[in-house]
Protein backbone atom coordinates (compact mmCIF):
# COMPACT_ATOMS: atom_id res chain seq x y z
CA UNK A 1 0.00 0.00 0.00
CA UNK A 2 1.12 3.56 -0.62
CA UNK A 3 2.04 5.29 2.64
CA UNK A 4 1.67 9.09 2.86
CA UNK A 5 2.86 11.00 5.91
CA UNK A 6 1.64 14.41 7.11
CA UNK A 7 4.12 15.56 9.77
CA UNK A 8 2.45 18.93 10.33
CA UNK A 9 -0.79 17.29 11.50
CA UNK A 10 0.60 13.99 12.78
CA UNK A 11 -1.37 11.81 10.38
CA UNK A 12 -0.55 8.88 8.11
CA UNK A 13 -2.65 7.61 5.21
CA UNK A 14 -2.46 4.33 3.31
CA UNK A 15 -3.97 4.08 -0.16
CA UNK A 16 -4.16 1.52 -2.93
CA UNK A 17 -6.29 0.71 -5.95
CA UNK A 18 -6.80 -3.05 -5.75
CA UNK A 19 -6.72 -5.27 -8.86
CA UNK A 20 -10.55 -5.28 -8.92
CA UNK A 21 -10.57 -1.47 -9.08
CA UNK A 22 -11.59 -0.79 -5.46
CA UNK A 23 -10.03 2.40 -4.13
CA UNK A 24 -8.88 1.64 -0.61
CA UNK A 25 -8.03 4.35 1.95
CA UNK A 26 -6.98 3.72 5.56
CA UNK A 27 -6.16 6.45 8.09
CA UNK A 28 -4.95 4.56 11.18
CA UNK A 29 -5.25 6.15 14.62
CA UNK A 30 -3.49 4.15 17.26
CA UNK A 31 -5.19 4.04 20.64
CA UNK A 32 -8.59 5.50 19.70
CA UNK A 33 -11.59 3.74 21.21
CA UNK A 34 -13.71 3.30 18.06
CA UNK A 35 -13.01 2.47 14.43
CA UNK A 36 -15.15 3.45 11.46
CA UNK A 37 -15.56 1.89 8.02
CA UNK A 38 -17.42 3.41 5.05
CA UNK A 39 -18.07 1.31 1.95
CA UNK A 40 -19.41 3.66 -0.72
CA UNK A 41 -20.52 3.59 -4.33
CA UNK A 42 -20.56 6.60 -6.62
CA UNK A 43 -24.25 6.09 -7.26
CA UNK A 44 -27.01 8.30 -5.88
CA UNK A 45 -30.46 9.63 -6.55
CA UNK A 46 -29.40 11.69 -9.59
CA UNK A 47 -28.02 8.65 -11.44
CA UNK A 48 -31.22 7.64 -13.23
CA UNK A 49 -29.96 7.32 -16.81
CA UNK A 50 -26.65 5.63 -17.61
CA UNK A 51 -24.79 3.15 -19.78
CA UNK A 52 -21.77 0.85 -19.67
CA UNK A 53 -21.82 0.02 -23.38
CA UNK A 54 -23.78 1.43 -26.30
CA UNK A 55 -27.27 1.18 -24.83
CA UNK A 56 -28.69 3.66 -22.34
CA UNK A 57 -30.73 2.41 -19.40
CA UNK A 58 -33.46 4.60 -17.89
CA UNK A 59 -34.50 3.81 -14.33
CA UNK A 60 -37.25 5.11 -12.02
CA UNK A 61 -36.63 8.03 -9.70
CA UNK A 62 -35.71 6.82 -6.23
CA UNK A 63 -34.08 3.56 -7.23
CA UNK A 64 -30.67 4.25 -5.63
CA UNK A 65 -32.35 4.96 -2.29
CA UNK A 66 -34.61 1.92 -2.74
CA UNK A 67 -31.60 -0.28 -3.43
CA UNK A 68 -29.93 0.97 -0.25
CA UNK A 69 -32.97 -0.15 1.77
CA UNK A 70 -33.00 -3.62 0.19
CA UNK A 71 -29.28 -4.35 0.49
CA UNK A 72 -29.56 -5.33 4.17
CA UNK A 73 -31.65 -8.41 3.25
CA UNK A 74 -29.43 -11.47 2.95
CA UNK A 75 -30.05 -14.75 1.05
CA UNK A 76 -29.98 -16.74 4.29
CA UNK A 77 -32.99 -14.80 5.52
CA UNK A 78 -30.94 -12.72 7.96
CA UNK A 79 -30.72 -8.95 8.19
CA UNK A 80 -27.23 -7.45 8.05
CA UNK A 81 -28.15 -4.59 10.38
CA UNK A 82 -29.17 -7.05 13.09
CA UNK A 83 -26.03 -9.16 12.63
CA UNK A 84 -23.71 -6.18 12.84
CA UNK A 85 -25.52 -4.74 15.85
CA UNK A 86 -25.32 -8.07 17.68
CA UNK A 87 -21.58 -8.10 17.01
CA UNK A 88 -20.94 -4.76 18.70
CA UNK A 89 -21.24 -2.45 15.68
CA UNK A 90 -23.40 0.61 15.10
CA UNK A 91 -24.30 0.27 11.38
CA UNK A 92 -26.40 2.27 8.94
CA UNK A 93 -26.45 3.72 5.42
CA UNK A 94 -27.48 6.83 3.52
CA UNK A 95 -28.15 7.84 -0.06
CA UNK A 96 -27.52 11.33 -1.41
CA UNK A 97 -27.87 12.63 -4.96
CA UNK A 98 -24.31 11.57 -5.74
CA UNK A 99 -23.45 8.51 -3.65
CA UNK A 100 -24.65 5.71 -1.40
CA UNK A 101 -22.64 4.92 1.74
CA UNK A 102 -22.86 1.88 4.01
CA UNK A 103 -20.98 2.21 7.27
CA UNK A 104 -20.46 1.07 10.81
CA UNK A 105 -18.61 2.20 13.90
CA UNK A 106 -17.41 -0.31 16.48
CA UNK A 107 -15.18 -0.61 19.53
CA UNK A 108 -14.73 -4.38 19.17
CA UNK A 109 -14.80 -7.15 16.54
CA UNK A 110 -13.79 -4.72 13.81
CA UNK A 111 -12.43 -7.36 11.41
CA UNK A 112 -15.57 -9.53 11.62
CA UNK A 113 -17.79 -6.49 11.17
CA UNK A 114 -15.79 -5.31 8.17
CA UNK A 115 -16.18 -8.72 6.54
CA UNK A 116 -19.93 -8.57 7.08
CA UNK A 117 -20.15 -5.02 5.68
CA UNK A 118 -18.34 -5.98 2.48
CA UNK A 119 -20.27 -9.23 2.18
CA UNK A 120 -23.80 -7.88 2.42
CA UNK A 121 -23.18 -4.82 0.23
CA UNK A 122 -21.70 -7.00 -2.51
CA UNK A 123 -24.40 -9.71 -2.27
CA UNK A 124 -27.73 -8.62 -3.81
CA UNK A 125 -30.84 -10.57 -2.89
CA UNK A 126 -34.26 -9.42 -4.05
CA UNK A 127 -37.58 -11.22 -4.38
CA UNK A 128 -40.89 -10.08 -5.85
CA UNK A 129 -42.48 -10.30 -2.41
CA UNK A 130 -39.80 -8.32 -0.57
CA UNK A 131 -39.63 -5.61 -3.26
CA UNK A 132 -43.40 -5.17 -3.21
CA UNK A 133 -43.40 -4.98 0.60
CA UNK A 134 -40.69 -2.32 0.54
CA UNK A 135 -42.77 -0.19 -1.82
CA UNK A 136 -45.30 0.29 0.96
CA UNK A 137 -42.62 1.13 3.54
CA UNK A 138 -40.78 3.62 1.36
CA UNK A 139 -44.04 5.05 0.02
CA UNK A 140 -45.04 5.93 3.58
CA UNK A 141 -41.58 7.47 4.15
CA UNK A 142 -42.00 9.59 1.00
CA UNK A 143 -45.43 10.85 2.11
CA UNK A 144 -44.07 11.82 5.52
CA UNK A 145 -41.15 13.64 3.89
CA UNK A 146 -43.43 15.52 1.52
CA UNK A 147 -45.33 16.81 4.57
CA UNK A 148 -42.08 18.22 6.00
CA UNK A 149 -41.62 22.01 5.62
CA UNK A 150 -37.84 21.55 5.71
CA UNK A 151 -38.00 19.18 2.74
CA UNK A 152 -40.33 21.43 0.75
CA UNK A 153 -38.29 24.59 1.23
CA UNK A 154 -35.17 22.69 0.08
CA UNK A 155 -36.65 20.85 -2.91
CA UNK A 156 -38.34 24.00 -4.21
CA UNK A 157 -34.98 25.82 -3.98
CA UNK A 158 -33.40 23.12 -6.16
CA UNK A 159 -36.24 23.35 -8.67
CA UNK A 160 -35.66 27.11 -8.90
CA UNK A 161 -31.96 26.59 -9.57
CA UNK A 162 -32.00 23.57 -11.88
CA UNK A 163 -34.22 23.12 -14.93
CA UNK A 164 -33.09 19.64 -16.01
CA UNK A 165 -30.52 18.09 -13.70
CA UNK A 166 -32.14 15.30 -11.63
CA UNK A 167 -30.66 16.80 -8.46
CA UNK A 168 -33.82 18.93 -8.53
CA UNK A 169 -35.86 15.83 -7.60
CA UNK A 170 -36.17 14.01 -4.28
CA UNK A 171 -33.57 11.28 -3.74
CA UNK A 172 -36.31 8.89 -2.56
CA UNK A 173 -38.39 9.46 -5.73
CA UNK A 174 -42.17 9.61 -5.65
CA UNK A 175 -44.85 7.15 -4.62
CA UNK A 176 -45.60 6.70 -8.33
CA UNK A 177 -41.98 6.24 -9.50
CA UNK A 178 -41.06 3.55 -6.98
CA UNK A 179 -44.00 1.42 -8.17
CA UNK A 180 -41.97 0.85 -11.36
CA UNK A 181 -39.09 -0.77 -9.45
CA UNK A 182 -38.69 -4.52 -9.96
CA UNK A 183 -36.17 -7.09 -8.69
CA UNK A 184 -34.57 -7.19 -12.16
CA UNK A 185 -34.02 -3.44 -12.26
CA UNK A 186 -32.45 -3.61 -8.79
CA UNK A 187 -30.13 -6.43 -9.90
CA UNK A 188 -29.14 -4.45 -13.00
CA UNK A 189 -28.32 -1.32 -10.99
CA UNK A 190 -26.37 -3.31 -8.41
CA UNK A 191 -24.34 -5.06 -11.12
CA UNK A 192 -23.45 -1.77 -12.78
CA UNK A 193 -22.83 0.52 -9.81
CA UNK A 194 -21.89 -1.81 -6.94
CA UNK A 195 -18.83 -3.22 -8.64
CA UNK A 196 -15.60 -2.52 -6.68
CA UNK A 197 -14.26 -0.40 -9.56
CA UNK A 198 -17.06 2.11 -8.89
CA UNK A 199 -16.59 1.98 -5.12
CA UNK A 200 -14.30 2.99 -2.31
CA UNK A 201 -13.60 1.58 1.14
CA UNK A 202 -12.42 4.20 3.62
CA UNK A 203 -11.44 3.25 7.17
CA UNK A 204 -10.23 5.25 10.15
CA UNK A 205 -9.38 4.04 13.64
CA UNK A 206 -7.07 1.71 15.54
CA UNK A 207 -6.76 -0.70 12.61
CA UNK A 208 -4.04 -2.47 10.65
CA UNK A 209 -4.11 -1.26 7.00
CA UNK A 210 -2.80 -4.60 5.76
CA UNK A 211 -5.61 -6.46 7.55
CA UNK A 212 -8.17 -4.16 5.94
CA UNK A 213 -6.61 -4.84 2.54
CA UNK A 214 -6.58 -8.60 3.12
CA UNK A 215 -10.27 -8.63 4.11
CA UNK A 216 -11.22 -6.64 1.01
CA UNK A 217 -9.31 -9.05 -1.24
CA UNK A 218 -10.88 -12.04 0.53
CA UNK A 219 -14.52 -10.93 0.36
CA UNK A 220 -14.87 -8.96 -2.87
CA UNK A 221 -14.81 -10.20 -6.45
CA UNK A 222 -11.30 -10.17 -7.96
CA UNK A 223 -12.47 -9.09 -11.41
CA UNK A 224 -12.32 -5.45 -12.56
CA UNK A 225 -15.51 -3.89 -13.91
CA UNK A 226 -16.58 -1.21 -16.38
CA UNK A 227 -17.21 2.27 -15.09
CA UNK A 228 -20.78 3.42 -15.85
CA UNK A 229 -21.39 6.66 -17.74
CA UNK A 230 -24.24 8.72 -16.27
CA UNK A 231 -26.43 11.13 -18.24
CA UNK A 232 -27.80 14.01 -16.15
CA UNK A 233 -29.85 15.47 -18.99
CA UNK A 234 -29.50 18.70 -21.01
CA UNK A 235 -27.17 21.35 -19.68
CA UNK A 236 -28.91 23.80 -17.39
CA UNK A 237 -29.03 27.50 -18.12
CA UNK A 238 -26.35 29.59 -16.43
CA UNK A 239 -28.98 31.68 -14.63
CA UNK A 240 -32.16 30.42 -12.93
CA UNK A 241 -35.38 31.01 -14.88
CA UNK A 242 -37.28 31.93 -11.73
CA UNK A 243 -36.06 33.76 -8.64
CA UNK A 244 -38.74 33.02 -6.02
CA UNK A 245 -41.04 30.29 -4.86
CA UNK A 246 -43.44 30.62 -1.95
CA UNK A 247 -45.90 28.20 -0.39
CA UNK A 248 -47.85 27.91 2.86
CA UNK A 249 -47.72 25.04 5.34
CA UNK A 250 -48.40 24.39 9.00
CA UNK A 251 -45.32 26.13 10.43
CA UNK A 252 -44.95 28.40 13.44
CA UNK A 253 -42.47 30.72 11.71
CA UNK A 254 -41.42 31.26 8.09
CA UNK A 255 -38.67 29.05 6.67
CA UNK A 256 -36.37 30.27 3.90
CA UNK A 257 -33.49 29.01 1.79
CA UNK A 258 -31.43 31.32 -0.39
CA UNK A 259 -29.24 29.66 -3.00
CA UNK A 260 -27.01 29.96 -6.04
CA UNK A 261 -25.54 27.40 -8.41
CA UNK A 262 -22.08 27.36 -9.95
CA UNK A 263 -19.81 25.10 -11.95
CA UNK A 264 -17.71 22.75 -9.80
CA UNK A 265 -13.98 22.78 -10.48
CA UNK A 266 -12.42 19.78 -12.25
CA UNK A 267 -11.54 16.73 -10.16
CA UNK A 268 -8.36 16.88 -8.13
CA UNK A 269 -6.64 19.56 -6.07
CA UNK A 270 -8.43 22.29 -8.02
CA UNK A 271 -11.74 20.96 -6.71
CA UNK A 272 -10.45 20.82 -3.13
CA UNK A 273 -9.18 24.38 -3.42
CA UNK A 274 -12.55 25.58 -4.70
CA UNK A 275 -14.35 23.82 -1.84
CA UNK A 276 -12.04 25.41 0.71
CA UNK A 277 -12.45 28.84 -0.88
CA UNK A 278 -16.24 28.51 -0.84
CA UNK A 279 -16.13 27.56 2.83
CA UNK A 280 -13.95 30.54 3.71
CA UNK A 281 -16.17 33.01 1.84
CA UNK A 282 -19.36 31.72 3.45
CA UNK A 283 -17.84 31.66 6.92
CA UNK A 284 -16.38 35.13 6.44
CA UNK A 285 -19.62 36.75 5.25
CA UNK A 286 -22.33 34.71 7.01
CA UNK A 287 -20.70 32.52 9.66
CA UNK A 288 -21.53 32.73 13.36
CA UNK A 289 -18.72 35.23 14.00
CA UNK A 290 -19.60 37.52 11.06
CA UNK A 291 -21.10 40.99 11.37
CA UNK A 292 -24.12 39.80 9.38
CA UNK A 293 -24.88 36.94 11.76
CA UNK A 294 -24.29 38.98 14.89
CA UNK A 295 -26.52 41.84 13.74
CA UNK A 296 -29.37 39.73 12.37
CA UNK A 297 -29.39 37.47 15.41
CA UNK A 298 -29.44 40.46 17.77
CA UNK A 299 -32.35 41.91 15.79
CA UNK A 300 -34.26 38.62 16.08
CA UNK A 301 -34.31 38.11 12.31
CA UNK A 302 -32.46 34.79 12.36
CA UNK A 303 -32.12 32.05 14.95
CA UNK A 304 -29.30 29.68 15.80
CA UNK A 305 -30.50 27.30 13.11
CA UNK A 306 -29.28 29.69 10.38
CA UNK A 307 -26.65 27.87 8.35
CA UNK A 308 -24.77 28.23 5.08
CA UNK A 309 -22.84 25.70 3.03
CA UNK A 310 -21.54 24.80 -0.39
CA UNK A 311 -22.96 21.44 -1.45
CA UNK A 312 -21.24 19.40 -4.15
CA UNK A 313 -23.09 16.42 -5.61
CA UNK A 314 -23.50 14.57 -8.92
CA UNK A 315 -21.60 17.13 -10.97
CA UNK A 316 -23.30 20.15 -9.41
CA UNK A 317 -22.27 22.79 -6.88
CA UNK A 318 -24.82 24.78 -4.90
CA UNK A 319 -24.68 27.47 -2.23
CA UNK A 320 -27.48 27.03 0.32
CA UNK A 321 -28.16 29.33 3.27
CA UNK A 322 -31.17 29.83 5.46
CA UNK A 323 -33.31 28.75 8.40
CA UNK A 324 -36.22 30.25 10.31
CA UNK A 325 -36.93 33.98 10.28
CA UNK A 326 -39.68 36.35 11.34
CA UNK A 327 -38.95 38.37 8.19
CA UNK A 328 -37.19 36.40 5.43
CA UNK A 329 -37.43 39.31 2.97
CA UNK A 330 -35.46 41.51 5.35
CA UNK A 331 -32.83 38.79 5.79
CA UNK A 332 -32.56 38.47 2.00
CA UNK A 333 -32.08 42.23 1.80
CA UNK A 334 -29.30 42.12 4.40
CA UNK A 335 -27.60 39.20 2.65
CA UNK A 336 -27.59 41.18 -0.60
CA UNK A 337 -26.19 44.24 1.21
CA UNK A 338 -23.40 42.12 2.73
CA UNK A 339 -22.51 40.66 -0.66
CA UNK A 340 -22.58 44.04 -2.43
CA UNK A 341 -20.36 45.60 0.23
CA UNK A 342 -17.75 42.88 -0.18
CA UNK A 343 -18.00 43.05 -3.95
CA UNK A 344 -17.36 46.79 -3.79
CA UNK A 345 -14.52 46.82 -1.27
CA UNK A 346 -13.25 43.25 -1.40
CA UNK A 347 -13.02 40.85 1.53
CA UNK A 348 -11.14 42.20 4.53
CA UNK A 349 -7.66 40.55 4.55
CA UNK A 350 -7.47 40.72 8.35
CA UNK A 351 -10.85 39.02 8.72
CA UNK A 352 -9.85 36.45 6.10
CA UNK A 353 -6.70 35.62 8.06
CA UNK A 354 -8.80 35.13 11.20
CA UNK A 355 -11.26 32.88 9.38
CA UNK A 356 -8.42 30.81 7.92
CA UNK A 357 -7.01 30.19 11.38
CA UNK A 358 -10.44 29.25 12.70
CA UNK A 359 -10.99 26.88 9.76
CA UNK A 360 -7.61 25.24 10.27
CA UNK A 361 -8.38 24.82 13.97
CA UNK A 362 -11.74 23.22 13.20
CA UNK A 363 -10.14 20.80 10.76
CA UNK A 364 -7.45 19.83 13.24
CA UNK A 365 -10.10 19.12 15.87
CA UNK A 366 -12.03 17.15 13.28
CA UNK A 367 -9.12 14.77 12.85
CA UNK A 368 -10.09 13.27 16.21
CA UNK A 369 -13.43 12.13 14.77
CA UNK A 370 -13.00 8.78 12.97
CA UNK A 371 -16.39 9.11 11.28
CA UNK A 372 -15.59 12.55 9.89
CA UNK A 373 -12.17 11.42 8.69
CA UNK A 374 -13.53 8.34 6.89
CA UNK A 375 -16.42 10.18 5.23
CA UNK A 376 -14.17 13.03 4.11
CA UNK A 377 -11.95 10.41 2.47
CA UNK A 378 -15.01 9.06 0.62
CA UNK A 379 -15.67 12.57 -0.75
CA UNK A 380 -12.00 12.97 -1.59
CA UNK A 381 -11.76 9.64 -3.38
CA UNK A 382 -14.74 10.38 -5.62
CA UNK A 383 -13.47 13.96 -6.11
CA UNK A 384 -9.88 12.92 -6.87
CA UNK A 385 -8.26 14.84 -4.01
CA UNK A 386 -6.76 14.24 -0.57
CA UNK A 387 -8.73 15.94 2.26
CA UNK A 388 -5.75 15.68 4.63
CA UNK A 389 -4.01 18.35 2.54
CA UNK A 390 -6.67 20.91 3.50
CA UNK A 391 -4.64 22.31 6.40
CA UNK A 392 -1.69 22.78 4.04
CA UNK A 393 -3.76 24.48 1.31
CA UNK A 394 -5.95 26.78 3.43
CA UNK A 395 -3.17 29.29 4.28
CA UNK A 396 -2.36 29.72 0.57
CA UNK A 397 -5.86 30.83 -0.47
CA UNK A 398 -5.73 34.53 -1.27
CA UNK A 399 -8.14 37.41 -0.85
CA UNK A 400 -8.16 37.71 -4.65
CA UNK A 401 -9.42 34.13 -4.97
CA UNK A 402 -12.17 34.82 -2.44
CA UNK A 403 -13.18 38.01 -4.24
CA UNK A 404 -13.34 36.20 -7.57
CA UNK A 405 -15.46 33.41 -6.07
CA UNK A 406 -17.78 35.99 -4.56
CA UNK A 407 -18.11 37.78 -7.90
CA UNK A 408 -18.67 34.65 -9.97
CA UNK A 409 -20.98 32.77 -7.59
CA UNK A 410 -22.71 35.06 -5.10
CA UNK A 411 -23.44 38.21 -7.08
CA UNK A 412 -27.07 39.16 -6.23
CA UNK A 413 -28.35 38.38 -9.72
CA UNK A 414 -27.44 34.71 -9.14
CA UNK A 415 -29.53 34.34 -5.97
CA UNK A 416 -32.91 32.66 -5.64
CA UNK A 417 -35.14 32.22 -2.58
CA UNK A 418 -37.54 29.47 -1.54
CA UNK A 419 -40.08 30.23 1.20
CA UNK A 420 -42.48 28.26 3.36
CA UNK A 421 -44.86 30.62 5.15
CA UNK A 422 -47.37 29.94 7.92
CA UNK A 423 -50.89 29.47 6.68
CA UNK A 424 -52.86 32.69 6.76
CA UNK A 425 -49.89 34.87 5.73
Beta carbons within 10 angstroms of residue 408's beta carbon: 12
DSSP state of 79: B
Q: Distance (Å, rounded) from C-alpha 83 to C-alpha 157?
A: 40
How are beta strands 23-28 and 199-205 bridged, if at all?
parallel
Nearest CA among 293, 398, 279, 410 for reference residue 343: 410
Residue 168 contacts residue 161 (beta carbons within 8 Å): yes
Q: Distance (Å, rounded) from C-alpha 153 to C-alpha 259?
A: 11
Catalytic residues: 68
Burial 27-44 (b: 16+ CB within 10 A, else e): bbbeebebbbbbbbbbbb
- Residue 55 burial (10 A CB sphere; 0-12, 13-18, 19+): exposed
* CA-to-CA dists, residue 231 to 8, 57, 101, 174, 366, angstroms: 41, 10, 21, 20, 35
Collapse the DSSP code of 74 into the 3-class scheme (helix H, G, I; strand E, B; otherwise coil) and give the result.
Answer: coil
Sign (positive or negative) of CA dihedral 129, 133, 139, 145:
negative
Nearest CA among 106, 105, 100, 133 for reference residue 382: 100
Amino acid sequence: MNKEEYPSIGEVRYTETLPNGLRLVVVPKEGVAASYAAFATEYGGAFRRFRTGQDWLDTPAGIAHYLEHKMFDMPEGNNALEILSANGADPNAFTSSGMTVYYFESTRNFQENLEMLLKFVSTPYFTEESVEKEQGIIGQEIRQTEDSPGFEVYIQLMKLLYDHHPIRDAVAGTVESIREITPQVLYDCHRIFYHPSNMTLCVSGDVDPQEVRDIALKVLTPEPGTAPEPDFGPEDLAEPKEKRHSMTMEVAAPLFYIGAKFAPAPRGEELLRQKLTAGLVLRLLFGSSSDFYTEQYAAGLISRDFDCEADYSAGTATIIMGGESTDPEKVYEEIVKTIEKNLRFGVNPRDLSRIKKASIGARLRGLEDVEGVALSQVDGTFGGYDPLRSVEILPTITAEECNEFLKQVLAPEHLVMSLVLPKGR
